[in-house]
Amino acid sequence: MSSAAVSFSARQIALSEAEFRLLQRLFYDQVGIQLPPVKKPLVCGRLAKRLAALQLDSYQQYYKLLVSPQGADELEVAIDLITTHETYFFREPQHFDYLQQKILPQLHGQADLRVWSAASSTGEEAYTLAMLLDQHRSPKAWSVVGTDVSLAVLESARKGLFVEGRGDKIPPHYLKRYCLKGRDRYAGYFLVERELRERVEFRPNNLTSPAPELGLFDVILLRNVLIYFDLPTKQLVLKHVLERLRPGGWLMVGHSESLQGPPMRLEQLAPSIYRKPLR
């Protein structure tokens, strides 16, 4: 690396209020995510390395690249850096208990069962669902679809490879049955077994757009994502998600989220668990 490159990468580039507003609008228009003023240091911190890598002098230049025809690939990189991918296996376990104890018995006689992990990030939620369904649903047919706006996290999810710490919440019998301990260069990692990985499909999806190509689902998990949207965008996302939910199907949202406000016909069965009327 040249000394010029070293000095450039070490330079701290300030993010002005005007530049921050441009980026706020861009990410809102692209994926519907709100970036309030308190997120300005986060935006600066996560994008600073991209400015250095591209040898740009300002966030204004970076913004112009993102909105240009030749900036499509970089826009995907920026979206991946800005969107939050905080997740882990068996997160908010009450939902999985409810699925096992309440929902699966009601669908016992159904020939096929489809579950959607919306905003699935790196795949922990989708694989959690797959473990549970394989354990309690097989040999009856079931499938899990995981979607995310970020192509990078989807590629990571398809690999099914996680650092060991990510498996701390996996019950021991599931860990033993479905996860392989890494060795040699994969020491410190575990791999979701191939048979289970092949039962989970990961697809790109922007929740602010309709997705008829996904088909209909019996259960949808839309957890810990609505909190990043303002009310109009939340309503739009819920509209598109509920279009993919079969009549009589179940919707689960994060425990810190509320569906109060948007006009919709849903029956609340438990905190953060809703059911779509049959008609």
Catalytic residue chosen out of the listed positions 91, 148, 218, 223: 148
Q: Are 174 and 199 in contact (CB under 8 A)?
A: no
Rounded CA separation 131/205 (Å): 23
Helix (H, G, I), strand (E, B) or coil at 69: helix
Rounded CA separation 205/215 (Å): 13
Q: Which residue has the tokens 């609340």?
A: 268
Instruction: Tell me the C-alpha to C-alpha distance, in Å, between residue 246 and each of 41, 151, 155, 276.
Output: 42, 27, 28, 8
Catalytic residue chosen out of the listed positions 46, 158, 246, 275: 46
Nearest CA to 91 among 70, 112, 119?
Answer: 119
Cis peptide before 204 (omega within 30 of 0): no
Rounded CA separation 115/265 (Å): 20
Q: Is 148 a catalytic residue?
A: yes
Active site residues: 46, 148
